[in-house]
Amino acid sequence: MMKRNIMIAVYCALILYFLTGCQLAKESADTNANDDRLIGVLITTEYLDLFDYDGYLDDDFNSFQGCEINMNEKNNQKYQGRLYADLIPRTITNEETGETTITYEYVFEGIEGIQYCVPTIQATEAENSYVATMSDPAISDTSTNIFVSDDENSISIDGTIFITATGKMNAYYFNPVYQSTDGSVYAVSGDSFMLISDMFGEGSAYSHTLETTTSRTENGMTKKDSTSIKISISVMYAPENIVILQMGSDNAIISLTEYEPYAMPQVIVPETGTAYFIVETHKKDDAGNTKLSREIFDRDIENIETFFARADGVCEKHWTQIFEN
């Protein structure tokens, strides 16, 4: 009963904490967080609440003193506001040779989000360390640039998330992802952006940028680390069907094939005499009016790019390979 009464008292104190501006005190062991490098972003549609008040009170309710909640060293990592990723091995099989390769990626288990990161995979006995690019299929038009020199390391990544015009208010939280010197990767809560997609129309976009620059001294030399991350949210009317026309050099139609956006083929073999392709994407705007966009691709193009709308409202890009016999 005593613990119950104390717990109630602490809950009341937490309410006062929010009303009166009390402090959440953390131990100084976290001060080396500045050494951790920004390596990416985890985009979520819900706030990343990384402090477990109930769990904290249950574990360490005696630490509430005065107007401060003191973090004990034993529970510091658990309650320091970080979401740690797990390093997961993946097996990739070459369909032609059957050979397998083991790769690794950092995964935020149990979190629904869109990740774009460039972590360093630590060296093992079998292989050296290397920088990996981990980009969710929801991010299109990605660009990753990594520069390494004796006095500077820089990372620059950018990409676009295309979303459908649903008429609903959408929240997007841009949660920074860091990597510690020991190789661990974690996310922290970030800024949000609210968007009512059909108020802006197709082509409207919002961009969010994360940038950091730090300096450190190694063997008496100063080295600069910089990271720049840019993610754009762009509105797109959901594709309803896609028509591929194969055209002759006399501009006559050789073949016409209609596809559901999610059922685009992996490969298209050009018909004899095909000089170029016309790709028509049929959509409807928020008023129900038909919208048609056309793109022309030369026969020598390697891939045709189209989009399909996922159940979560994200329009994902699909590549169809043009295969010559």
Give pLDDT tens digits for 228-245. Answer: 999 999 989 999 999 999
- pLDDT value at position 247? 97
Q: Which residues of the chain have pLDDT under 70?
A: 1-34, 51-80, 166-169, 196-200, 325
- pLDDT value at position 305? 95
Alpha helices in the chain (DSSP H): 2-20, 53-60, 76-79
Q: Are strands 64-65 and 68-70 parallel, antiparallel or unpaired?
A: antiparallel
Strand locations in 118-237, DSSP E? Answer: 120-121, 130-131, 134-135, 140-148, 152-164, 169-179, 185-187, 191-196, 205-218, 221-236
- pLDDT value at position 179? 94
Q: For the chain, which residues make up each domain, given as ranges?
A: 2-31+48-79, 83-236, 239-322
DSSP 187: E
DSSP 58: H
- pLDDT value at position 7? 41
Amino acid at 54: D
DSSP percent split of the chain into helix, strand, coil, nearest 5? 15, 50, 35
**What CA–CA distance (Å, rounded) separates 308 from 319?**
11
- pLDDT value at position 102? 83
**What CA–CA distance (Å, rounded) separates 38 from 155?**
9
**What CA–CA distance (Å, rounded) separates 245 from 219?**
62
Which 3 state secondary structure label does DSSP give 242? strand
- pLDDT value at position 9? 39
**What CA–CA distance (Å, rounded) separates 307 from 319?**
9
Give pLDDT tens digits for 105-123. Answer: 999 999 999 999 999 988 7
- pLDDT value at position 160? 96
Mention every residue, 6+ apart, whose C-beta is less than 8 A from residue 68: 22, 23, 24, 25
φ, ψ of residue 212 in degrees (nearest 5): -145, 150
CA-wise closest residue to 106 among 123, 94, 92, 118: 118
CB 76 within 8 A of CB 26: yes
CB 309 within 8 A of CB 319: no
- pLDDT value at position 282? 96
**What CA–CA distance (Å, rounded) separates 203 from 305?**
17
pTM over 0.85: no
Amino acid at 274: T
> Which tokens hold the place of 199?
């108020």
